[in-house]
Structure 1
Amino acid sequence: MTTDPELRAPLPAERRAHLLAALDRDGVVRVADVSRALGVTPVTVRRDITQLEQEGRLVRVHGGAVPAEASAARDGGVPVPPPTSQAIGVLVPSLDYYWPGVVRGMEAEARERGLRVVLRGSSYAATDERPALERLAGADGVSGLILAPRTDGARGGEIAQWLRACGLPHVLVEREATLPQHREALESVVSDHALGALMAVHHLADLGHRRVGLVLSRESPTSRKIAAGWSAACAELGLSSQEHFERLAPDRRTPEFPGVVTEVVDTAVASGTTALLVHSDPEASAVVQEAMDRGLSVPGDLSVLSYDDEVAGLFSPALTAVQPPRAAVGRAAVDLLVKRLADPGRPVHRTAISPRLVVRESTGPVRPVTSGGR
């Protein structure tokens, strides 16, 4: 019998570990974010923050907490410039999953530079982001833009041309694009997702896995880069096309999603696949739950490695995951924009920041095959 992790309230130690991990990763935690991620009340989160502050692990601020050393630096170390009327306009496709960590990095860097952030949310389904960008560009005090637009197909070229014509310095975040005519690149900061996928497959291969499957989020622009890294690793390690499979999972909120999860596990079992790289955490959790509901052992029968590490550590078993450098990407985007504002003629910079692999409980050595099967 398995226990649905969504029905089990996290223990105090787990909550506080989550708080400290988020603080270490993002440089700030917000009560509302932690409450939503853990499924507990804001009062419970504030109580945990109070306890950790008493232990000297963090410092409470309005709506959340910051590291103790960051607070000390503000109080007695290098002074943080006061905010000015100058602002950075930020447009991201989501204000819940993945992007809050990037935005918090932007806010922290902007605050240290004495800048304001004017934040707007778009949508992955947006057919034309230009109206939102035009409103943002016209907002009071906005002197530059940081954005994550859709860059696929003709829309990508249209957005690139609009950015060139708008006259404001701009930096793409977790996106890359070029101008259609001469393929001039736009300034950008990205996580090296292809490298993250390559690291993941090498980790699984080091554990003895030779049949490694890939499950991608159909709607995510990140999927293409993860697939490239996975393919490169399979070629590098000599994994043939008969030894791996690829599935594109639909949006997990659609009725088709459970059937795809069932198909993924069916195919893994039938093909002898012993490990899966899954983007992202909710999809990986669903695959693990389906496998365990069938009586399979994770990682004994099937190792699962998640890509994103938003909530991977909260699942049981805790999921091994690739962790993109969200906060660092946000900080680097602001840094690039500030440098562009100071020197409009500087060469275009395209920055790729490496993710890291966090090994937990959901990956392990291949279980030896016996005469009775797996």
Structure 2
Amino acid sequence: MTEHAPRAPLAAERRAHVLAALGREGVVRVADLVAELGVTPVTIRRDIANIEAEGLLHRVHGGAVVRMEGEEGVRDGGRPSPTTSVGVLVPSLDYYWPGVVRGVEAAAAAQGLRTQLRGSSYEAADERPAVRRLVETDGVRGLLLAPNTDSPHAQDLLQWLATSGVPSVLVEREGSLAPHREALESVTTDHALGALMAVHHLADLGHRRVGLVLSRQSPTSRKIAAGWRRACAQLELAANEHFERTIPDRRQPDFSDIVDSVLETALSSGTTALLVHSDPDAMAFVQHAQDRGVSVPGDLSVVAYDDEVARLYSPALTAVSPPRAAVGHAAVDLLVKRLADPTRPVHRVVLSPQLVVRESTAPAHR
């Protein structure tokens, strides 16, 4: 008997699936829909664009979010009440940020606030248009945002926020205003502490040569690097006993070759442990090591930074876990207090991550 390949779902079936997922979660991600429906990313993005044209969702980077009843849209043209909405601008819904957004949404709902989520991207040169639309068109009362602080327009955006009259809180970002460097309200994770904890964990296991591998794209990388360097100094690791590298986005064609090159540097230098940001990059290093016959953690211990999917790999990865939902909660709390008392001092809240020890770290071979 001939076996037939599963039938690809029709457009109407895909539409129903997307809307059902939005109804359950309030957010859908392209990668998840591709896996669930067995179609290409191009097909899913086209479906999402068509549903957005119906006024039923908002496209954001990596997926879409539900459009609230009465929100400005293609059909109804209505605007949310400026007394109940806060704007949220994040760079992605593919990774890290969904956990923060869930924390924001839960805390906002508890305060009787509605969130209006918008997506930017790490490549955005100027995010002022998106922020202005939230304020001037959508009528939000406050802003929670994670702008690209490396952009040449970053200071222009921060100055605009300071003079807009709309309270704002930076999320996993820090900012100050020229010329006197007055700080803006912010909630951040102490990523430097997270890296320091990871290196001390590895040192406690007897590792003296600890490498650091960072994502070239992520603004978090510089803080992780600072914590790693501080830990190396505290532990008196000499310069020839550790190394630091940055790697490109996983979608770049040379990613695999660079991972191989960095791994070769680690093995040839006697490095016995790596701290890698982020989880998927750490997984890539483990896979390449195993392909070479290098045992993890027998020959090489690996700590991932982010703990988004680290537990799902085999071996389950020891990871630094930022408190993503708590960051979202704290950001809403700061914004609500600022709305209630515009004259209160600027608050900068720093939350500590956790180190979750799993199967990818073990004592170093003597």
**What TM-score comes out, normalization by structure 1 length?**
0.77
Q: Deviations over 1:305-354 (max 9, x none)?
A: 00000000111000000000000000000000000000000000000000
2:32 counterpart (32, 36, 61)? 36
Query: What is the Cα deviation at residue 197 of structure 1?
Result: 0.3
Mapped partners of 1:138, 1:31: distance in 2? 24
Q: Answer yes or no: is 1:336 the counterpart of 2:329.
A: no
Alignment of structure 1 residues 222-237 onto 2, 5 Å: 222-237=220-235
Mapped contact 1:89–1:142 kept (Cα < 8 A): yes
Q: 2:150 & 2:156 partners in 1: Cα distance?
A: 10
Aligned residue for 1:286, secondary structure, equals helix
The partner residue of 1:289 within 287, 290, 297 is: 287
Q: What is the Cα deviation at residue 260 of structure 1?
A: 1.1
Q: CA deviation at 1:159?
A: 1.4
Q: Does 1:256 align with 2:268?
A: no
**Alpha-carbon spacing, 1:41–1:145, altered in 2? closer, same or farther (3 Å):** same
CA distance in 2, matches of 1:354, 1:38: 35
- Looking at structure 2, the residues matched to 223 and 140 of structure 1 have their Cα atoms a distance apart, in angstroms, of 33
1:18 aligns to what?
none
State the Cα distance separating 1:39 from its structure 2 match: 5.3
Answer yes or no: is 1:201 the counterpart of 2:220.
no
CA separation in 2, counterparts of 1:37 and 1:173?
Answer: 27
CA change 1:254–1:41 in 2 (3 A) is same
What aligned pairs does 1:105-254 form with structure 2 within 5 A after superposition? 105-152=103-150, 154-254=152-252
Note the C-alpha offset of 1:35: 8.7
Shift in alpha-carbon separation, 1:34–1:244, aligned structure 2, 3 A: same
Distance 1:147 1:311 in 2: 24
Q: Distance in 2 between matches of 1:140 and 1:228?
A: 39
Query: How many Å separate the matches in 2 of 1:233 and 1:130?
Result: 38
Q: 1:36: how far off?
A: 2.8
Distance 1:32 1:152 in 2: 28
Match of 2:72 in 1: none
The question of whether the paired residues in 2 share the 8 Å contact of 1:35 and 1:41 is answered with no
Q: Deviations over 1:156-210 (max 9, x none)?
A: 2111101112110000000001001110000000011000000000000000000
Q: Which secondary structure state, in structure 1, belongs to the residue aligned with residue 207 of structure 2?
A: coil
CA 201–30 in structure 1, closer or farther in 2 if over 3 Å, else same: farther
Q: C-alpha distance in 1, partners of 2:335/2:255? A: 39
Q: Is the 8 A contact 1:124 1:219 kept in 2?
A: yes
Identity between Structure 1 and Structure 2 (%): 68
Distance 1:150 1:84, change over 3 A: closer
Deviation at 1:137, TM superposition (A): 1.2
| SS at structure 1 position matched to 2:95 | coil
Q: SS of 2:194's equivalent?
A: helix
CA deviations 1:88-138 (Å, max 9, x no partner) are 101011112000000000000000000000000001000110111110112
Residues 320, 354 of structure 2: 8 Å contact kept: yes
Gaps of 5+ in 1: 1-27, 43-82, 369-374
Alignment partner of 2:95 out of 93, 97, 111: 97
8 Å contact 2:82–2:140 — kept in the other structure?
Answer: no
Instruction: Give the match for residue 268 of structure 1.
Output: 266
- TM-score normalized by structure 2? 0.79
Between the aligned partners of 1:120 and 1:94, the Cα distance in structure 2 is 9
CA distance in 2, matches of 1:346, 1:84: 22
C-alpha contact (below 8 Å) 2:125/2:151 kept by paired residues: no
SS at structure 1 position matched to 2:177: coil
Letter in 2 for 1:203: H
Asked whether the 8 Å contact 2:82–2:139 carries over to 1, the reply is: no
1:86 Cα offset (Å): 1.0
Q: Distance in 2 between matches of 1:100 and 1:133?
A: 19
Which position in structure 2 is the counterpart of 1:319? 317
Structure 2 Cα separation of the partners of residues 334 and 90 of structure 1: 10
**Contact residue 213 and residue 275 of structure 2 kept, 8 A:** yes
Q: Which moved more, 1:28-37 or 1:207-216?
A: 28-37
Q: 1:134 to 1:313 in 2, by over 3 A?
A: same
Query: How far apart, in 2, do the equivalents of 1:30 and 1:361 lie?
Result: 34
| Partner SS, residue 123 of structure 2 | coil
1:54 paired residue number: none
- What one-letter code is carried by the residue in structure 1 that aligns with 2:106? A
Contact 2:84 2:141 in 1 (8 A): yes
**What SS does the corresponding residue of 2:183 show, helix, strand or coil?**
coil
1:5-16 correspondence runs (5 A): none
User: SS at the partner of 2:287?
Assistant: helix
Shift of 1:219: 0.6
The CA distance in 1 between the partners of 2:29 and 2:236, in whole Å, is: 42
Residue 274 of structure 2 corresponds to residue 280 of structure 1: no
- 1:40 deviates by 5.9
Maintained 8 Å contact 1:37/1:311:
no
Contact 1:305 1:321 (C-alpha < 8 Å) held by counterparts: yes
